A and B are shown apart, each in its own frame.
Chain A
């Protein structure tokens, strides 16, 4: 009997987790519906994003510019969960550290603009958190826009915003740490030839072996060695950025792998490698689908070509959506505290217990997701490389 019970529990627990996950995803949609609602809130101003300061300067509510309507989610006594969440998962031109009693501490980040007059570079503190215009540009909802002489937004202006934003900065930090870890491990490996790895090198080697033996070898086949450096790089890049995204404060807190630009670049590189390495068999499969009547080619060839582009798009969206959804759920729980807190502070305290419990739980799931999504991205990239270099036709790769 005991054995049976254990067995049931083993199936019940994942099922329960899945149900919870679905329920929370539903909530996340709900949170977005709140987008336009403004809920009064007494003392806690949870908005972190668009605060910022001039050179890590602290500024209080006495600032006369505080009432400028650019930051509605930020106004004293108001909370807008949808806006708050969107700002958190989006990008920003400064890096918020904390808010205490309506005083915001944040690191301004460099703004780099390339337009017809050349490259402009200045600190984002010049914008005074979206309150000021500088060199014909200003921040509108954390996005850089060009303005006309009279202060209205010029949506036709031709410029590139190459600023070191919060995501870029976070990525820099995480890749620096990644490089540091990997180079340390590499040095340790070199000084420890033929012996068992020790300490941190052990973990890294396990992951490297995992990528090599569980991802690259079975998916690509004998030619795996050529793609291994890329697969390892994307695996660790995604993994470390996912983990940094889970850290709620500096140097984490950014949503790097949950940003579609990042996942797009990764997916495009995978697509380019797949296309460049595609052999006769791969292209033959797309342009002259074997094993079907020629009459069907008119139908199949467009499908195959769409499929070719579809693969990287799916890669891009999967990673982006998974990581962003996780962030939204966690932020949603925290917003709940403030939404209920705005009704009654005691309700807020009550809800906070539940919210924190659920957030802890979600964070564990997110840890799993951080690994899982890095693994899935790497595995699918490896599978695409595998189809590109495959020599003999097999039925399951289509």
Chain B
């Protein structure tokens, strides 16, 4: 029965010891340990939260990038299209103006050809006239060596000239 009879001395020392231990540990051990644990948990939580945030931001950035890329692509397409159009129009214009120019040149050329032809014709005409006059003169000189013949010719020509 001695076993289940609490001794007063042990109760006394236990109460004092436990009180002191409780005080010391609460103040100098549990507080810093629990604080450290809580702080670590907080820092882990905040780290996880910020990682999550970063992830969300990354996703947002990614979608932003996508959007920007799409925009850029659209702009590029637009620009290409416009450039194409401009190119087309420039080519068309160039073609038109070249045509016109060509036509003008051709026109000018044909004009000048015409003029040269005309000129040549005129010269030819004059030449022919001179030659024919010379020839006629020579022939006449030959034919009109004798007098009778001259008279006959003049007469003949005079006959052909009608005075109207």
Contacts and interface: CB of A to CB of B under 8 A. Distances in A.
Interface of A: 86, 89-91, 112, 141, 143, 160-165, 167-168, 171-172, 175, 178-179, 182-183, 185-187, 189-190, 192-196, 204-205, 208-209, 212, 228-230, 232-233, 236-237, 259-262, 264-266, 269, 320, 324
Contact of B13 (A164, A185, A194, A269): A164
Which 7 pairs between the two chains have the least Cβ-Cβ distance?
A: A189-B36, A182-B29, A261-B10, A261-B6, A229-B26, A186-B32, A194-B43
A394 to B, nearest CB: 27
Contacts of B163: none
A265 B11 CA distance: 6
B18 to A, nearest CB: 6
A192 B32 CA distance: 11
A260 B36 contact: no
A171 B17 contact: yes
A171 B15 CA distance: 11
A233 B22 contact: yes
A160 B37 CA distance: 45
B33 A89 contact: no
Chain A: interface secondary structure? helix
Given A189-B33, A229-B25, 15 more contacts: A143-B2, A160-B9, A161-B8, A165-B10, A168-B13, A171-B14, A175-B21, A178-B25, A183-B24, A186-B28, A186-B32, A208-B30, A228-B34, A237-B21, A320-B4
B19 to A, nearest CB: 9
Nearest to A255: B3
A229 to B, nearest CB: 4
A256 to B, nearest CB: 9
B26 A172 contact: no
B40 to A, nearest CB: 5
Contacts of A261: 6-7, 10-11, 14
A209 B37 contact: yes
B30 A229 contact: yes
Contact of A192 (B5, B12, B31, B36): B36
15 contacts: A141-B2, A168-B10, A178-B25, A186-B33, A193-B40, A195-B40, A228-B34, A229-B25, A229-B30, A260-B5, A261-B7, A264-B6, A265-B11, A265-B15, A324-B3
Given A165-B9, A264-B11, A90 B2 contact: yes
Contact of B8 (A160, A167, A189): A160
Contacts of B40: 193-196
Interface string B103-118: 0000000000000000
A265 to B, nearest CB: 4
Contacts of A167: 10
Contacts of B77: none
A208 B13 contact: no
B8 to A, nearest CB: 5
B82 interface: no
A162 B29 contact: no
Nearest to A328: B3
A162 B34 contact: no
Contact of B26 (A165, A187, A233, A320): A233
Nearest to B8: A160
Contacts of B99: none
A265 B15 CA distance: 7
B151 interface: no
Contacts of A189: 32-33, 35-37
Q: In this complex, which of A232, A259, A261 has the most chain B Cβ atoms within 10 angstroms of its Cβ?
A: A261
